[in-house]
Structure formats: structure tokens, C-alpha cells
Homo-oligomer: A and B are copies of this chain.
Amino acid sequence: MTVASDSDDLQNPDLQLTRRSARPAGTVVTVRGIEIGGSGLVIMAGPCAVESEDQLLATARAVKAAGAHILRGGAFKPRTSPYSFQGLKEEGLRLLARARDETGLPIVTEVLDVRHVELVARYADILQVGSRSMQNVILLEEVGRSGKPVLLKRGMSATLDEYLSAAEYVMSNGNGDVILCERGIRTFEPSTRNTLDLNAVPMLQRRSHLPVLVDPSHGTGHAWMVARMACAGVAAGADGVLVEVHPDPASALSDGEHALTPDEFAVMASQLAAVGLAVGRSMATSRRGVETAPEVAR
């Protein structure tokens, strides 16, 4: 979605590479034939954490069938408490690669430790930098040098200026494939886990050329709100959504309260398609066509 020009009053001279005027037509990040930031809407879906082969494959097949383009899943988990489940680590990465092999879905997973960037980049198609790491400038520099697209989530109390400055760190290290993702900010309201800030969508698109997704799962913390807020995000102009799906949310090792079941996800995907059409956007399709098949069979 192209937007006219920089908002002059908000011009931050340090945003040299991320500002809209640096690429007025907008950035399209292409991942195994899927265009993120192009005319089509992109859905990234999967479990909060990779828990087991069964859990991951069941989720991957279900979200693929319902129209997801990219599989998400956490192998290294940043947790508030040191005593919470911290992820399956490299075993989680292997399971993600297996799920990609079976479904053809590219995979996005978080890298937490700067020493793991190379390891994670060997498996993942997109490196996620989580909201707690948005100002980890060392990590931003390393993913900037990784050669892999980066999904950079907004810090939960980052201003949009700080957010774009974080993207500037990635870009200034040679990596232009940055995908932004609004995932809820911290406010005074206790009834939702965070407050999904959809104002950020048009504002980021006006100020920057980077694709913008929304994550209504973390943005609300309630499964029953996810579909509505995903639709709202697309209506606000988002280039796609990132949602958490689990075959059995009640037994999830983390964040089960906002995970969709595969059936709920399928309903959401169809609602998203309808809202997308209303704002002039269809769902993304692979630009590779039949080429995708061999890769899946790999």
C-alpha cells in the first residue's frame, strides 16, 4: 500500500533508511515466493512455543489448510520468570524445519541470544526480534548482518520514533528486509494484556516504506478478541497479521489464553479475506507457483 509522503513535522533526521521517502513505492519482502508488503495480505500463524512434533505438525497442517502463508513458532522463549518453560531450543528449530518440509510454509522464529543468530538463521526463513528485544541494539546489528529477513516487533512502550530507529539499526547493517509488527502497547487498562495500537499502522506506513503487520494475539491476550482485531488491523491498512494457533489451547505451555483453535483460525481467515476485499486487497499468493512444490519435497 503506497502512501504519499513523509509527515514533515515528524521527520527524524536519523531515520535515513527507514523513512518513506527513501523508497516511496514501499518495500516488499519476498520469502520463498511469498510477498510481504505487496498487494496481497499475508497471514503468519502457529503456536506460541514449539512444544512437540505432534503439536507443531498438527498446527502447521491446519493453518496451511486454512490459508496461512507462513508458520510461526517459538524455539527460544523470552519469559518473564526464569522458572517458566524456556522453549525446546535447537530441537524446536529442527521441528520447525520439518514442518516446513512437510507443508511448504516458510518459518519465522524468534532469536533471543546474539550468539544464536547464525544457528537460528540456518533453520529460519525469517528471524523474529521480539518486543522485549526491540532495543537490544547488539541483536539488531547481528540480525542486520544475517542475510535473513527480520520480523521486528514493536516494544511494548516504544514510541514509533524509537521503533523506526530500531529498524534503522537493522537496515544500517545491510539488511533492507525488515517487517514491522504492532503487537500491543502498555497502557493503564487491566482487562486486556496489552492495548493493540492500530493507530500505529497508518502512521508507520506514512512515515516508513516497510511492511506492517499486526499481532492481535499478544495485542489483546484474549482468543475471543483475536479475529475482530485482526480484521480491524487489515481495515486500518496492515499488510497482514501474525496470530497464535494451538491444537489445544487449554494445554498450551505458554499463552494458551489467546491462542486460537484451528477451527477458530479458519473462521478468522475467511473474515480477514472479506475485510481485505473491502479495502481493496486480496490474500497473498505465491509468486513461485509450481516451483514451490520441489522445495516442499526437499
Interface residues in chain A, defined as those with a beta carbon under 8 Å from any beta carbon in chain B = 7, 10, 14, 16, 78-84, 112-115, 132-133, 135-138, 141, 156-157, 159-162, 165, 168-169, 172-173, 185-192, 195-203, 206, 219-220, 224-225, 228-229, 231-237, 271, 274-275, 277-279
Contacts and interface: CB of A to CB of B under 8 A. Distances in A.
B228 A160 contact: no
A199 to B, nearest CB: 5
A135 B137 contact: no
A237 to B, nearest CB: 5
A297 to B, nearest CB: 36
B192 A199 contact: yes
A115 B115 CA distance: 8
A202 B185 contact: no
A112 B135 contact: no
Contacts of A79: 137
B157 A156 contact: yes
Given A191-B203, A275-B275, 11 more contacts: A14-B82, A80-B161, A114-B138, A115-B115, A160-B191, A196-B199, A198-B232, A202-B229, A203-B225, A229-B236, A231-B279
Contact of A235 (B156, B191, B224, B235): B235
Contacts of A192: 199, 203
A162 B78 CA distance: 12
Contact of A236 (B156, B173, B232): B232
A165 B83 CA distance: 10
A14 B85 CA distance: 13
A199 B195 contact: yes
Given A81-B165, A82-B168, A231-B279, A135 B138 contact: no
Contacts of A113: 114, 138
Nearest to A271: B279
Given A82-B172, A136-B136, A199 B224 contact: no
A29 to B, nearest CB: 20
A-B residue pairs, 8 tightest by C-beta = A157-B157, A235-B235, A232-B236, A278-B278, A14-B81, A132-B135, A231-B235, A274-B278
Contacts of A196: 198-199
B82 A169 contact: yes
A169 B225 CA distance: 28
